A and B are shown apart, each in its own frame.
Chain A
Amino acid sequence: CSLSKNKFTNNAYTLERPIKTTMLDALNKVTACYRHLVIALGSTSDSQNLREELKKTRKKAQELAVANRTKLTSLLKDKNISKDDRAEYERLWVLFTSSVELLEVDMKRSLEIGQDFPLKVPTRHLIQTGMTGSTTTVAARAMSVQNMKYEADANIDTVDLKELETEIAQVDQMMEEMEMKVQVAPWAVEAKQEAGAELKSTVSVGNSSVGVISICEEEPKETVEGETGLMKVFAGVIFTAVLLIAGILGYLVINL
Chain B
Amino acid sequence: MTINTLSQDGVQRQQMPCLTKMERMIISMQDPDMGIKLRNQRLLITVIPHAMTGLDIVEWLIKKCSISDEEALHVGQLFVKYGYIYPLKEPRNLILKADDSSYRFQTPYYWMSTRWPASELDYAIYLAKKNIRKQGELIEYEKECYNALHKRINHTWDFVVMQAREQLRASKQRRKGDRIVLECQEQAYWLVNRPPVSPEHYKLTTLTKNTIAMISLARNRVKSSICLESYVKYCEQYQPHDPIMQGCLPSNPWITDDIMFWNMNSETVALPTKLRVERWSFSFMELLNDQMGRKEFLTYLEKEFSGTHTQINESIHNPYKQQFLAPGASRWVNIDSKTMEKTLEGLKRPHRFVLDDAQMHIYFLMKKDSYPRYLKSELYKNLLARAIVPQETKKSVFPFMRRQRHSSPSPALATQTAEDDGKAKYSNSNSGTASRL
Chain B residue contacts of A193, Cβ below 8 A: 157-158, 161
Contact B155 A113 (CB under 8 A): no
A84-135 contacts to B (CB < 8 Å): 91, 94-95, 98-99, 102, 105, 108-109, 111-113, 115-117, 123, 125-133, 135
- From B38, B128, B157, contact of A128 by CB (8 A): B38
Contact A109 B170 (CB under 8 A): no
Q: Does A69 contact B (CB under 8 A)?
A: no
Number of interchain pairs (Cβ within 8 Å): 178
Contact A198 B131 (CB under 8 A): yes
Contact A199 to B107, CB < 8 A, known contacts A112-B1, A137-B173, A165-B2: no
Contact A29 B166 (CB under 8 A): yes
Stretch at the interface among B177-185, B323-331, B429-437: B177-185
B162-178 contacts to A (CB < 8 Å): 162-167, 169-178
Q: Does A220 contact B (CB under 8 A)?
A: no
Chain B residue contacts of A197, Cβ below 8 A: 161
Stretch at the interface among B53-61, B146-154, B335-343: B146-154
Contact B158 A91 (CB under 8 A): yes
Give the interface size bracket for B toward A.
35 or more
Chain B residue contacts of A123, Cβ below 8 A: 31-32
Instruction: Tell me the smallest distance from the CB of B50 to a CB of chain A, in Å.
Output: 4
Contact B173 A204 (CB under 8 A): no
Complex: how many Å from CA A117 to CA B30?
12
Q: Does B78 contact A (CB under 8 A)?
A: no
Chain B residue contacts of A94, Cβ below 8 A: 155-156, 158-159
Contact A133 to B30, CB < 8 A, known contacts A41-B108, A42-B107: no
Instruction: Tell me the smallest distance from the CB of A210 to a CB of chain B, in Å.
Output: 18
The SS class assigned to the B binding surface is: helix
Contact A141 B30 (CB under 8 A): no
Contact A127 B105 (CB under 8 A): yes
Instruction: Tell me the smallest distance from the CB of B37 to a CB of chain A, in Å.
Output: 11
Contact A32 B30 (CB under 8 A): no
- From B49, B161, B163, B176, contact of A102 by CB (8 A): B163
How many A residues face the partner with a CB closer than 8 A?
A: 71
Contact A141 to B131, CB < 8 A, known contacts A125-B30, A127-B105, A128-B30: no
Stretch at the interface among A11-19, A70-78, A183-191, A243-251: A183-191
Complex: how many Å from CA A99 to CA B156?
10
- Nearest neighbor of B108 in chain A, beta-carbon distance: A42
Instruction: Tell me the smallest distance from the CB of B125 to a CB of chain A, in Å.
Output: 9
- Nearest neighbor of A126 in chain B, beta-carbon distance: B30
Contact B109 A206 (CB under 8 A): no
Q: Does A3 contact B (CB under 8 A)?
A: no
Q: Does A33 contact B (CB under 8 A)?
A: yes
Complex: how many Å from CA A25 to CA B165?
11
Contact B177 A130 (CB under 8 A): yes
Contact B110 A39 (CB under 8 A): yes
Q: Does B51 contact A (CB under 8 A)?
A: yes
Chain B residue contacts of A169, Cβ below 8 A: 3
Complex: how many Å from CA A241 to CA B38?
39
Contact A133 B174 (CB under 8 A): yes
Contact A141 to B173, CB < 8 A, known contacts A129-B106, A130-B104: yes
Q: Does B121 contact A (CB under 8 A)?
A: yes
B85-104 Cβ-contact flags toward A at 8 Å (1 or 0)? 00000000000000000001
Q: Does B417 contact A (CB under 8 A)?
A: no
Looking at B128, B169, B175, the one whose CB has the most chain A CB atoms below 10 A away is B169
Chain A residue contacts of B105, Cβ below 8 A: 127-130
Q: Does B5 contact A (CB under 8 A)?
A: yes
Q: Does A44 contact B (CB under 8 A)?
A: yes
Complex: how many Å from CA A8 to CA B105?
40
Chain B residue contacts of A208, Cβ below 8 A: none
Instruction: Tell me the smallest distance from the CB of A56 to a CB of chain B, in Å.
Output: 15
Q: Does B19 contact A (CB under 8 A)?
A: no
Contact A198 B132 (CB under 8 A): yes
- Nearest neighbor of A95 in chain B, beta-carbon distance: B159
Instruction: Tell me the smallest distance from the CB of A198 to a CB of chain B, in Å.
Output: 5
Complex: how many Å from CA A63 to CA B5?
24
Complex: how many Å from CA A111 to CA B109?
11
Contact A109 B116 (CB under 8 A): yes
Q: Does B48 contact A (CB under 8 A)?
A: yes
- From B157, B170, B178, contact of A131 by CB (8 A): B178
B115-153 Cβ-contact flags toward A at 8 Å (1 or 0)? 110000100000010011001100000000011001000
Complex: how many Å from CA A86 to CA B82?
45
* Given A28-B162, A123-B32, A130-B104, 11 more pairs with CB closer than 8 A: A25-B162, A31-B163, A33-B166, A36-B170, A98-B163, A109-B116, A128-B49, A132-B177, A140-B173, A187-B155, A191-B155
Q: 9 shortest A-B CB distances, which residue pairs?
A: A32-B166, A42-B108, A191-B157, A137-B173, A128-B50, A98-B159, A130-B50, A189-B155, A130-B181
Q: What are 10 of the A-B contact pairs (CB < 8 Å)? A: A36-B170, A38-B109, A42-B107, A99-B159, A113-B109, A127-B105, A130-B41, A130-B48, A131-B178, A137-B174
Interface residues of B, Cβ cutoff 8 Å to A: 1-3, 5, 26-28, 30-32, 38, 41, 45, 48-51, 104-110, 115-116, 121, 128, 131-132, 135-136, 146-147, 150, 154-159, 161-167, 169-178, 181-182, 185
